[in-house]
Amino acid sequence: MERLDSRVRLIWLLRSLVGSLVAGAVVTFAVGAVDRVAVSPVVAGGGVFLVLLAIGVLHVFLRYRAWRFEVRDDTLYIERGVLVNVRTVVPYVRVQHVDARRGPIERLLGLGSVVVFTAGSRGADVSIPGLVAQRADDVQETLRGLAIESEPESGDAGDAV
Amino acid sequence: MKLHPLSVPVRIVSRGVGLAWAFIIGGIAFAGGDPVLTSGVVVVAVLVFLAVTAYEVAYYRRFDYELTDESLDIYSGVFSRREREIPLRRVQNVDVTRSFVARLLGIAEVDVETAGGGGTEANLRFVGRADADHLQEAIRERRATLDRHESAGDVEETEGEREAVVGGETLFELSDRDLLLYGALSFDPRLASGILAFAPLAAPFVGDRVQLSGPGLAFVVALAVIGILALWVASAAARIIQFYGFRLRRVGDDLRYERGLLQRRDGTIPLSKLQTVAVEENLLMRRYGFASLAVETAGYGPGSAPSGGSEAAVPLAPREAVFSLARTLEDFHDFDLDRPPERARKRYVRRYLLVGLTVLAAGFAVDRFLTGVPWYVVAPLLVLAWPAARRAHGNRGFDLGPDHAVAQVGFWKRRTRVVPYHRIQTLIRRQTVFQRRWNLTSVVFDTAGSRSISAGDAVAIDRDDDVADELVDTAQDSVFDAIYRSE
């Protein structure tokens, strides 16, 4: 089983920080606008910010611990989720296309993510975030190769839909 | 080929109605009786009307479609041109819709769906009625020819086969009696949610006038009963109009349905593209031994899914008839559903009790801090947790057959979904923190079907952890078996 690169936690932490900041700011303004609340807006906003941040940080670490994946012989296996544990099996023959993505912060940290697309309605796109850039390219290349290889030689059965 | 010339005025009117409203409401409010401003508004309205007319005429002149042996090509666009080529082998559904006005004018709208993207891939508004039928038939025929070439080399269609194909074989016809029954038995819960949204508005209004005791209470109850009855009649009427004259035929390898009183809909569902088959029974249907059949293709995009279950293959028929028809579409085994373990039922009991207790606590809090309500009357209802749990437990199950997985869920409306292994896209095991305490896991069989978004996937809920793992392994092997068998 392969784990994500530990630096992905930085990206997630940053995301939860931004989210908490926005929520805190909204609460601060909301409390400031309503006269009837006796609490100081800064205290309310700051409290919300701190609580959300604490939950966010805890979630990031648990999430990192829960995340793992494996490139198997004929399927891609992914396990993730804190509150809801989700284990997905994607047969390569079902893969429509594979993306390698690198956002600005990911690029700064030398990371990348791989997104696998199937024709399914629920698990239509399965993404593996936080891989070392080189590994992300590897995984994409491997998956692409395996997807082509697994195509049945004849018949319509391999046709996804 | 061009669109039907009448499509120009019809499109102008249908586009103009929305604009006209905006102008009448906005313009009159803006002018406020001032004659100069009013005439200005009229001038602008005329200009807009001319612009819409010019656009629609240009649209008509610059719209061209052509059906070749292998694809449907569409050239369209007034300002930016688009050439779209739809390979016939990829076509999922071809729908012909004739609204009431279109029927009077003898024109029809044709929609062609593929699995790609969101929305309808080709929308021809409008073509002549005969052209629409011809297009639908020609696409079916050419696709069948392409498929045959693909699978079995060059086998010419014999004259006899062609004869048999033209009219098709009627699989099911909804009689007038069954139509009425269907209207009566299929209550659309979406209507009830509309009433619930109004309730808070109506409650103070009624509450001010009526004392909540003795005759007043009886009045409120009577009002509620009348409301529910009216809702039921409205829902029945809507269904009856929607499904009037329903007929399902099998034409070659396609299913063809037609339905509708005012707006006629004539759609094709290619059997070779069938994703899942589902038998659905709501509370009333189950009581009287009826069921409906829904089939699912990958054609309709999430946003564009036609509402009201137009993909229903059979709106209402006796249960056995539905199952035997479902078997002719997808030859699945005689399944024997395996229910979740006994501890899952205990979990449901606790869950329903918890919900009941929460309601009770909320009622108590309201009574204590806001206004007096008889919160304790809910308490006896807690006993219902046991039968409710038994019901939820008894309606959940799954079975793995030689070629199909069968999964059943549903509290009010029971859905039995049949998924062929070769249609499974991904296998997903889900376990919430609450399930983890009981060592229970749900397994989702994800397909490319488009109904999954509205009606949920085929899912085996609350299985033992080990059973779930085994289930995934077996299903995975079966998927590979089904895909590579032909080699």
| Whether A146 contacts chain B with CB within 8 A | no
pTM: 0.79
Q: Do B487 and A152 touch (CB under 8 A)?
A: yes
The mean pLDDT of B34-61, rounded to a whole number, is: 86
User: What's chain A's length in residues?
Assistant: 161
User: What are the distances in angstroms from CA B159 to CA B148, B162, B165, B408?
Assistant: 16, 5, 10, 44
* Percent of chain B with pLDDT strictly greater than 90: 25
> Which residues of A fall within a CB distance of 8 Å from B453?
121
Amino acid letter, residue B233: V
pLDDT of residue B301: 44
The mean pLDDT of B402-431, rounded to a whole number, is: 90
pLDDT of residue B199: 64
Contacts of A2 (CB under 8 A, 6+ apart): A68, A69, A70, A71
Bond from prior residue into B126 cis (ω within 30 degrees of 0): yes
Residues in chain A with pLDDT < 50? Answer: 157-158
The mean pLDDT of B388-407, rounded to a whole number, is: 91
Q: Which residues of B touch A (CB under 8 A)?
A: 92, 115, 147, 150-151, 272-273, 275, 298, 302, 422, 425-433, 436, 444, 446-450, 452-453, 457, 472, 476, 479-480, 482-487
Which of the residue ranges A56-70, B25-39, B73-87 would you say has the lowest mean pLDDT? B25-39
The mean pLDDT of B70-93, rounded to a whole number, is: 88
Could you tell me if B435 and B375 are in contact, meaning their C-beta atoms sit under 8 angstroms apart? no
Q: Do B487 and A154 touch (CB under 8 A)?
A: yes
> Which residues of A fall within a CB distance of 8 Å from B150?
156
> Which residues of B fall within a CB distance of 8 Å from A155?
151, 486-487
pLDDT of residue B75: 93
Which helix (H) or strand (E) segment holds residue B105: the answer is helix B100-105
Q: Do A89 and B452 touch (CB under 8 A)?
A: no
> Average pLDDT over chain B, rounded to whole?
83
Which of the residue ranges B50-59, B357-366, B450-459 would you say has the lowest mean pLDDT? B450-459
CB-nearest to A118 from B150, B425, B476 is B425
The answer, yes or no, to whether residue B77 has pLDDT greater than 60, is: yes
Q: Do A120 and B426 touch (CB under 8 A)?
A: yes
B326-362 confidence digits (pLDDT tens): 998 888 989 999 999 999 999 999 999 999 999 999 9
pLDDT of residue B166: 60
> Which residues of B fall within a CB distance of 8 Å from A93?
480, 483
**Rounded to 5 degrees, what are φ and ψ at B363?**
-60, -45
A98-139 confidence digits (pLDDT tens): 888 888 988 999 999 998 888 876 656 788 988 888 888 888
How would you classify residue A4: left for phi > 0, otherwise alpha for psi between -120 and 50, otherwise beta?
A: beta
Complex confidence, ipTM: 0.86
CB-nearest to B425 from A83, A94, A156 is A94
Which of the residue ranges A128-132, B240-244, B311-315, B461-465 would you say has the lowest mean pLDDT? B311-315
Q: How far apart are the first and last CA of chain B?
A: 42
pLDDT of residue B120: 75
The pLDDT confidence band at residue B48, using thresholds 50, 70 and 90, is confident
CA of B297 to nearest chain A CA: how many angstroms apart?
A: 8
The answer, yes or no, to whether residue B454 has pLDDT greater than 60, is: no
Matching residue, tokens 């292994």: B421
Q: What are the structure tokens assigned to B274, written together?
A: 């069938």
> Which residues of A fall within a CB distance of 8 Å from B298?
119, 161
pLDDT of residue B161: 52
